[in-house]
């Protein structure tokens, strides 16, 4: 006898480094499936792979879809989303699902980092890194690779340090040359990594979190939260306990799924726009060109499924239809 299909909400977060998908149970609000895939510069490919993997993981009846992340528009076009939300709202919603009392969310992802302050269950203030990506996941990835260690071991090695060295962390270029300098002086890898963790935390607190009142409970989310060295340095600098929620690396997707559920209840009766898991099997491609309709020269992108256009964006001017490629 075939198993009854589980009613779920699909949350998708297409970020710079990872593409995450989660399925939220309609009845229990549990997370039934979670995928953390590397975007590898090809978000369309990552999305298709995610859809195939989810289909293999069970029988699902998708009630609604939420998309977030810097690639939210793309995700919404390809899989058909009912809710398209910015990362800040999605992360805050997910944090509140995990801990309704949460007051501060620290999120450090692949290329951006943010702080979200929550008071009485609503976002009261937020900030994102503005001019530079220093202190985000990509830099840690790169430094781990340079030192020949796996990024998964980074945190544990840093925690072995007794005597962290001081690294200039204002800018990744200087941080790297300072790390090399310290390494040539003979400091141990553990001390250098622990020093880098402290430098990154200093940089985050004086840059992104500048002037913000950090109150407990503090949640630490995003891919970098896997790094116990960074978490330890954060706790030491703040003098507060910092909690890492179980789905820390997919909180954006969790938030998107929760928002999809909320929206289904606020707009009762309307069905989902979900395109079906079969999207994973179809031929997805994108074409892009520079529109020559006016001096704006907008870069137009068109997404195609099996050769037919799904969506098109990039136009900034008054021309309702961008001129097609020559």
Partner 1 sequence: MKITFPHMGSIYIPGEAFLQELGHEVVVPPLATQRTLELGCKHAPEVACLPLKVMIGGFLEALALGADTVLMIGGTGPCRLGYYAEVQRQILEELGTGLDILVLEQPFENPRRITQDVRRLLNRKGIKALPRALRVAWEKLKACEALEETALAVRPRERHRGLARLALAEALGNLRQADTIRTIQRAVQDGQAALWEVADPHKEAMLHIAVVGEIYTVLEPFVNLQLEERLGQLGVEVIRTISVVQWVKDHVIKGSVGLYKTTRLERSAAGYLRGCIGGHGLETVARTNDLGKQGVDGVVQILPFTCMPEVVAQAILPAVSQDLDLPILSLVVDEHTGEAGFQTRLEAFVDLISRREGTCAHG
Interface residue list for partner 1 (CB under 8 A): 70, 82-89, 112, 122-126, 128, 130-131, 211, 259, 262-263, 266-267, 295-297, 316, 318, 320
Cα Rg of the chain (Å, integer): 21
Which ranges of the chain does DSSP label H, i.e. alpha helix?
Answer: 43-57, 72-75, 87-98, 137-146, 154-159, 172-185, 189-206, 228-238, 251-266
Is the distance from CB of 10 to CB of 62 less than 8 angstroms? yes
Q: Which is nearer to partner 1, 223 or 255 (CB)?
A: 255
Q: How near is the Cβ of 321 to partner 1 at its closest, in Å?
A: 11
Q: How near is the Cβ of 10 to partner 1 at its closest, in Å?
A: 15
Q: Which is nearer to partner 1, 90 or 144 (CB)?
A: 90
Q: How near is the Cβ of 17 to partner 1 at its closest, in Å?
A: 15
Element (H, E) at 300: strand 299-305
Q: Which is nearer to partner 1, 34 or 85 (CB)?
A: 85
Q: Which is nearer to partner 1, 63 or 232 (CB)?
A: 63
Q: How near is the Cβ of 296 to partner 1 at its closest, in Å?
A: 5
Structure tokens at 162: 């007794």
Is the distance from CB of 83 to CB of 65 less than 8 angstroms? yes
Q: How near is the Cβ of 275 to partner 1 at its closest, in Å?
A: 16
Q: How near is the Cβ of 14 to partner 1 at its closest, in Å?
A: 12
Nearest in space to 85 (alpha carbons), one of 66, 106, 99, 107: 66
Q: Which is nearer to partner 1, 131 or 283 (CB)?
A: 131
Q: What are phi and psi of 162, to 5 degrees?
A: -100, -25
Q: How near is the Cβ of 259 to partner 1 at its closest, in Å?
A: 6
Strand order in the sheet with 242-243: 122-128, 113-119, 104-108, 218-221, 242-243
Q: Which is nearer to partner 1, 70 or 161 (CB)?
A: 70
Q: List, in order, residues 6 or more apart from 131 with CB less than 8 Å away.
A: none
Is the distance from CB of 229 to CB of 200 less than 8 angstroms? no
Identify the residue whose tokens are 């790390």: 179
Q: Which is nearer to partner 1, 28 or 266 (CB)?
A: 266
């Amino acid at each position: 006898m075939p198993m009854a299909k589980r009613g779920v909400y699909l949350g998708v977060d297409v970020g710079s480094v990872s593409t995450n998908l989660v399925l939220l149970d309609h009845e229990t609000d549990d997370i039934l499936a979670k995928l953390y895939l590397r975007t590898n510069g090809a978000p369309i490919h990552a999305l298709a792979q995610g859809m195939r993997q989810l289909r293999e993981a069970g029988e699902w009846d998708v009630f609604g879809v939420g998309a977030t992340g810097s690639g939210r528009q793309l995700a919404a076009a390809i899989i058909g989303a009912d809710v398209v939300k910015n990362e800040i709202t999605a992360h805050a919603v997910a944090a509140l699902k995990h801990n309704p009392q949460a007051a501060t969310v620290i999120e450090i992802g692949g290329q951006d980092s943010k702080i979200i302050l929550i008071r009485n269950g609503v976002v009261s203030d937020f900030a994102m890194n503005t001019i530079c990506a220093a202190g985000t996941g990509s830099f840690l990835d790169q430094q781990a690779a340079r030192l020949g260690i796996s990024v998964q071991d980074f945190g544990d090695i840093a925690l072995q340090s007794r005597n962290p060295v001081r690294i200039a962390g204002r800018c990744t270029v200087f941080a790297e040359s300072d790390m090399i300098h310290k390494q040539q002086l003979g400091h141990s890898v553990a001390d250098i990594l622990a020093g880098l963790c402290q430098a990154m935390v200093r940089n985050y607190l004086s840059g992104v979190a500048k002037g913000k009142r950090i109150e407990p409970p503090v949640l630490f989310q995003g891919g970098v939260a896997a790094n116990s060295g960074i978490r330890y340095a954060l706790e030491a600098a703040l003098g507060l306990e910092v909690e890492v929620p179980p789905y820390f690396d997919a909180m954006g997707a969790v938030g998107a799924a929760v928002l999809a559920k909320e929206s289904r209840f606020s707009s009762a009766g309307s069905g989902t726009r979900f395109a079906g898991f079969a999207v994973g099997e179809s031929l997805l491609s994108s074409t892009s060109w520079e529109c020559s309709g006016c001096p704006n020269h907008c870069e137009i992108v068109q997404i195609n499924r099996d050769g037919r256009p799904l969506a098109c964006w990039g136009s900034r001017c008054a021309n309702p239809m961008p001129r097609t490629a020559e």
